[in-house]
Amino acid sequence: MSEPLRIALAGLGTVGAGVIRLIEANAALIARRAGRPLQVTVVSARDRNKDRGIDLSPYAWEDDMVIMGERADVDVVVELVGGSDGPALALARTTIEAGKGLVTANKAMIAHHGLELAQKAEAAAVPLKFEAAVAGGIPVIKGLREGAAANEFSRVYGILNGTCNYILSTMEDTGRDFAAVLAEAQAKGYAEADPAFDIEGTDAAHKLSILAAIAYGAKIDFGSVDASGIAKILAADIAQADSLGYVIRLIGMAEADGDRLFQRVQPHLVPFDHPLAHVDGATNAVVAEGNFSGRLLFQGAGAGDGPTASAVVADLIDIARGEAGAPFSVPVAELVAMAPAETGHRMGRSYIRFVVADRPGVLAEITAAMRDAGVSIESLIQKGRHEEGGDVLVAMVTHEGPESAVAEAVRLLEGSASLTRAPLVMHILSD
């Protein structure tokens, strides 16, 4: 058998420890499949003395993780530190410039600096792999880049953030409001103490920009992702969606429109009979619609030590086999700079929710704004007041029409004294 693939591991959190456990537990199987053993030689983390439940004595320790990229006893570096810049990016640059392969689970770094790192990797003729950066243990990057590589994709979309999906599906199951379920998710470790990165849609936007670049051979463009999160969703919205035959899910969607690229992360109403409607808890799922493959569904655990470690080690096995390939499917020079797509002309149906003062004339004001903007109402529901003189929830579903008309109707109602909070618009996912 060939010489071992010597690995430096930066970051010994949940995933880093999981990588070591996996390599140790499945060493013989991995060596057979890779054609050579995988051998961790050096590790680095912030706290050398922390108990991680694994024996680190077989491995050298490096206090300055950036140095690992230049060590003579390292063939490939695994970066599991996180953060779009700082030490993680310094390590990535040093590693590639030193002629060594890089494996990372860092979606923020790839979303912000992936093109630069891909250029460096191509120039140095070294592999850059990031399967674990999107959807944890689900092999969706490999699926798009390899398994479905012969297809032209009409859409790539899915549930890309497990924290948001856990919150929404728990709201659905319990009838509780967002704040209460978020607090529970934080207590259980499903949400961070500062959950903004997840609940505002940023995490999903990072992942979507990576998937879009791979699916469409485009230069990654995180800055053009239109992202909104789930914090404004009420338990009443969940209940209304259910009564109409939908669940609410945070969906990241990418579509090519000629030489333009549409990228948006937004809560959607998903029909009961759509595969994504049945994705509960912290699970992730991605749908890719190929012109010959048809609809492909990738579903599984989107985070956690085992699934994410599995994706990291799968990348290491590819490198051990000598399988590299272009990080974004095609060589950097062939990646296309796609301008952001205009969204106003997009056709579809929408759910619009208003919270209004309980007084005469409010409903007429809302329907007049819809009429003036050219929005056709399919159904309208007005919930009874919570208490005497309290606010009222008005929800409607529109007939199919341009998104620009819905945006204009909302604009016409800006500043209205009748509205006690900003309207919420969620588009309805179509087949």
Phi and psi, residue 31, nearest 5°: -60, -40
Q: Do the Cβ atoms of 162 and 190 come closer than 8 Å? A: yes
- Please give the C-alpha separations between residue 279 and each of 239, 249, 257, 265, 302, in angstroms, as whole numbers: 18, 9, 28, 17, 11
Question: Pick the catalytic residue: 107, 120, 142, 207?
Answer: 207
Distances (CA, A) of 173 to 168, 242, 299: 9, 11, 21
Q: Could you tell me if 103 and 315 are in contact, meaning their C-beta atoms sit under 8 angstroms apart?
A: yes
Distance between CA 282 and CA 164 in Å, rounded? 8
Contact 288, 215 (CB under 8 A): yes
207 is catalytic: yes
Could you tell me the CA-to-CA distances from 394 to 68, 240, 383 in Å, in that order? 58, 10, 6
In angstroms, the CA 117 to CA 383 distance is: 53
CA distances from 400 to 184, 345, 406 (A): 37, 12, 10
Torsion of the alpha carbons at 105, 109, 112 and 116, rounded to the nearest 10: -100
| Strands, E assignment, 215-310 | 226-227, 246-257, 260-271, 283-290, 294-301
354 bridge partner residues? 394
Catalytic residue numbers, as ranges: 207
